[in-house]
Amino acid sequence: MWHGKSVISGPSDKVVLTRWDRTKPPSYFNLVCLTRIEANEHEKLPDGTNLEEHYGKDVFDRVQRQFDREQQIQDIWGSIL
């Protein structure tokens, strides 16, 4: 889904999956790929942080588009199976 690239900084050797919105459980629609350092910083954000303001519109929109694509894929597979 993320092609082994951080949603913030792009390609990296050491990436991890972390929840985009920490108030929601891990799922295809709430996991992003970040470097370890980015993930650690992301986990330290205060509750209620506006992610669009924090990361900028480009990163926020990229994440939302990928979540939307994943939802479309899930919907297609759900209708086939």
Residue 11: what pLDDT? 79
pLDDT digits (tens, 9 = 90+) for 20-39: 999 999 998 999 999 999 99
- Region 66-76 average pLDDT: 88
Reported pTM: 0.83
Beta bridge partner(s), residue 5: 11
Window from 11-15, 22-26, 48-52 with minimum mean pLDDT: 11-15
Residue 75 scores a pLDDT above 90: no
Residue 70 scores a pLDDT above 70: yes
Residue 2 scores a pLDDT above 80: no
Backbone conformation region of residue 64, classed left if phi is above 0, alpha if psi is from -120 to 50, else beta? alpha
